[in-house]
Structure 1
């Protein structure tokens, strides 16, 4: 097949190689058949990966059939697909590791996907024009990304997914209703939860506090009400929390500073918080971005705000924009037991003996798990406007407590934050003089003290 595609028939418009017992991979040189309109390689034994490289130059292709093969990695992202996906495509191979159809213009509704995968693959259908309800999804998924579509249903479809989910991004859709309690079953594995920019409502459920592995929590731009649940104090691995643009009320919990010592970014702007700034926040040595603007906070700015180590030290941390998670799980997390290492220390491990009989019951996975990275993003007030920062977010060290009811003077200790780039305290009731040694903040690019008394 490779020779046929590579060297012959450059004017070929239709190629049907179905039901030929072909093995191996689909050659990348298929992308050289620039006039191809019809490609059918169905019902063979092809495996390996399919990516956008295969089809990037096939601008005339109108028919594609890859069904009944054993492709493990299907990556057709950003390939200019602008139509409905045919029904046969969703009969996904049981050995699938990752499906990526992101950044196209795929239309319509998803069909029921009842594939019983051997392992736990990842699925990325983000940034298309998919709409409607969420049908039956495969229960075995390691990651699920449906962001940037037009889905308009509640989140209870998540209850059908197995507990091995490590990454969930449903942002930028039209999802409504409350967060179901069943998300707590992901407690041992979920690293990233992004539900931002939807129409979700109700209180943030206390069940989220069981997500002990969670590092990034995005609930921005919904309609959540009530207080920030105390159960989140159990999520001690949290590094990024964005609860901005909701209707949350109550005080800023003291446990944020006492329990969430790994926090690098805390964003709770445009809510209905009240009370004073708790001194316990000064314990957040890793904090680089703090945004509590547009609330009803009052009282003085604690002098210990000058103790934020990450804002006082140049290049204190340079990898905070990403979170590592498992995008493909080779076997389910059946049992978790303790065993003795050669050094005699106790460790946890996962039993795979039911999937790897060739290993004679030894506790190893049949195949290596695949690690992936999630890049943080945040809407940060920067020089008068809110901008979204992604990959460059780690360069930003910022405090924004504007549009509250803070009073008193700006503490001199704020000049200890030598690496601070942006400071916005505008529209408060602050008084007194600007700290004498404000010129120590040589990296400060934006200082807004306007509309203060």
Structure 2
């Protein structure tokens, strides 16, 4: 009985599967038949094709091509270029012939209007020989998208377009010969419209309040339409409006801006010439990051501005000459950073604002000579541009300067001697990443306030001037990537505030002798001597004195910055620091004051690693790689509880890897390759995550992750990593947030994210986001 039942069930399953496959075949065949283009629509498309000449010169798009050229009779039109059919009915529902090089007239007899199932029609960027937009387009009652822009239509736009009630996007832009007598009549019934683009279409009428009834509207672009009258303020309050552009209609539009709240969706607002007599005289005006594309014309009549922020917009080309007349006697702060500006319309650029304190031009494409500034200037930031002149001598007349940032340009020549004997007001001097050569000025005066000196990435030569010892407030000195030939500047150790010292990639040489006193470099937190020619033993007494590398308090995180309160404007400048790893660059746009770094890699140090290094318990990054160090790895390095990267590769170290290093819970990078180490590799915790490359080329090492066993199988314990393969690794977050690296240069990373809030990965990324344009730049935060 059981056998019979099983056979019955088997036959039932076979019959069901056969029936299912047959039904699937029939369905697919039916669908295939339905996808074939309808014969009348295919004929209509071919007739439309034959009404036009192919002329590649008529399209403005550089990659335009004649889509209709591939259309062939006796083939399925649903497969034609630019044609899309419904999967359910086979009817043509979309026709995109934009930039198809079509030349010829189009009228109401066109076979195009036989395609009554069309939902999308795009004929943009063709040449329809100044024919009128046919009224019969309204027969395409299913249209949701209509784009006839830049196609040489002329004459009156039929008001019947408003009968296309399903339209969500209408673009008639740049048909310069086309016009409409009334904007209200044109759009009155377009209740579903989301995008209304009518740039350069003549519409000599007022803007009706009825547009505010188009509640779905997201884009309203009426650039150069000849509109006039008062702009209804209620339109600003459309609930979904993202982009509103009125452009430069000189006769338009009076009115005023409403008070926008934080929930307003508006992202782009282009008002062009809103009448000036309707706006108040501002003293403070912030238009930063407003997606403006041109300088607001109403600034012409502003005479009382003191603070003007136009940064982070889309300004291109030259700064217009008329801007020089805006608030000439009152303007103190002008921010134009983060645009696409290339120069000044008036040349030479002698800025007229007699009381200007702050000028921010960073992050543009400015070329040629720097603008000539009034002597009142306190903060000048022109980094990340393409200025090409020699060091401007007029800078020496800027006796009120607090911050001078010329970094990341193409400036050349020698540094003017006046820099050394500059005014006592200067706090920030950043000339990084230019083409300056010659010696660093020697006469650095006493009593100055300099906190930051960044001369890195130039071709400076000679020695570090000993007079830098007079800069008693100095916290940050970066002269990396130059051609300086000198011994170690031990005399800088008397600078009580010095926190960051970077000498990498120069010609520093000789032995670093132990200090003669016990109060040397007391606040030093970051020191980078990599890629030089230092020799002798590592300076153990220095390691014993660097008390600031012992402290670590994650509860008091602050950034290293310089306050610049010129005339009370409240600016500050964050220290910026770049680390090199395998030829790639990682920039810390802000530096937490808990970050501690020692990088002595790629020199000729010899002897043993001092035990005193293990006392620097706040250390995050330690790199002694590519030297000639001998002896054992000190077990005291196991005291570096906050260490996240240790690179000892390419030395002559011997003995075993100290098992105490397993206690370093934050260690994400460990490299001891290319030494003469022996014995078993420690197991457990972070050591179970390190790759073979961390240990290779040590013939005497054994144990995981190497293939060489240590003889006693009991030593090969299952790793934590293997035991937890099925679940999220305890240290998976380490690898997401720690920027890791090996080899010469600074090994990178800071594990603050794990110490603070383990799940706040986005917070960590925002603090340490990558920026490859600059290295070691001191950048202002306004």
1:242 to 1:5, Cα distance in 2 relative to 1, 3 A:
farther
Q: Which residue of 1 aligns with 2:419?
A: 183
Separation of aligned partners in 2, 1:255 and 1:6: 70
Deviation of 1:137 after TM superposition, in Å, equals 2.1
Separation of aligned partners in 1, 2:583 and 2:634: 22
Separation of aligned partners in 1, 2:278 and 2:460: 49
Q: Which residue of 2 aligns with 1:410?
A: 609
2:534 partner SS: strand
Matched, 1:66 2:305: no
Deviation of 1:185 after TM superposition, in Å, equals 5.8
Q: Is the 8 A contact 1:40 1:66 kept in 2?
A: no
Deviation of 1:444 after TM superposition, in Å, equals 1.2
Matched, 1:267 2:502: yes
Q: Which residue of 2 aligns with 1:41?
A: 276
Unmatched tracts of structure 2, length 5 or more: 1-229, 237-243, 653-782
C-alpha RMSD of the superposition: 3.1
Q: Which residue of 2 aligns with 1:7?
A: 233
1:432 to 1:238, Cα distance in 2 relative to 1, 3 A:
same
Q: Is the 8 A contact 1:136 1:157 kept in 2?
A: no
Equivalent positions of 1:99-248 (< 5 A) are 99-109=334-344, 111=347, 112-117=349-354, 119-159=355-395, 161-184=397-420, 186-209=422-445, 212-248=448-484
Deviation of 1:190 after TM superposition, in Å, equals 0.4
Per the normalisation by structure 1, the TM-score is 0.80
Matched, 1:89 2:323: yes
Equivalent positions of 1:325-364 (< 5 A) are 325-326=564-565, 328-329=566-567
Structure 1 residue corresponding to 2:562, chosen from 323, 327, 349: 323
Q: Is the 8 A contact 2:577 2:590 kept in 1?
A: no
Separation of aligned partners in 2, 1:416 and 1:42: 70
1:207 to 1:382, Cα distance in 2 relative to 1, 3 A:
same
Per the normalisation by structure 2, the TM-score is 0.48
1:213 to 1:6, Cα distance in 2 relative to 1, 3 A:
farther
Q: Which residue of 2 aligns with 1:423?
A: 622
Matched, 1:307 2:307: no
1:372 to 1:136, Cα distance in 2 relative to 1, 3 A:
closer
Q: Which residue of 1 aligns with 2:631?
A: 432
Larger Rg: 2
Deviation of 1:108 after TM superposition, in Å, equals 2.7
Separation of aligned partners in 1, 2:608 and 2:444: 38
Deviation of 1:37 after TM superposition, in Å, equals 4.1
Deviation of 1:211 after TM superposition, in Å, equals 7.1
2:641 partner SS: coil
Separation of aligned partners in 2, 1:90 and 1:109: 10
Name whichever structure is richer in strand by fraction. 1
- Paired positions, count: 402
Q: Is the 8 A contact 1:382 1:446 kept in 2?
A: no
Separation of aligned partners in 2, 1:84 and 1:290: 42
Q: Which residue of 1 aligns with 2:530?
A: 293
Deviation of 1:319 after TM superposition, in Å, equals 3.8
Q: Which residue of 1 aligns with 2:24?
A: none
Q: Which residue of 1 aligns with 2:571?
A: 372
Separation of aligned partners in 2, 1:286 and 1:322: 15
Deviation of 1:79 after TM superposition, in Å, equals 1.0
Q: Which residue of 2 aligns with 1:359?
A: none
Deviation of 1:42 after TM superposition, in Å, equals 8.1
Q: Is the 8 A contact 1:403 1:427 kept in 2?
A: yes
Q: Is the 8 A contact 1:43 1:68 kept in 2?
A: no
Higher relative contact order (CA 8 A, sep 6+): 1
Q: Is the 8 A contact 1:287 1:308 kept in 2?
A: yes
1:34 to 1:80, Cα distance in 2 relative to 1, 3 A:
closer
1:155 to 1:267, Cα distance in 2 relative to 1, 3 A:
same
1:245 to 1:383, Cα distance in 2 relative to 1, 3 A:
closer
1:51 to 1:17, Cα distance in 2 relative to 1, 3 A:
farther
1:251 to 1:58, Cα distance in 2 relative to 1, 3 A:
closer
Name whichever structure is richer in helix by fraction. 2
Deviation of 1:199 after TM superposition, in Å, equals 0.3
Separation of aligned partners in 2, 1:223 and 1:161: 25
Separation of aligned partners in 1, 2:312 and 2:514: 48
Structure 2 residue corresponding to 1:279, chosen from 483, 497, 514: 514
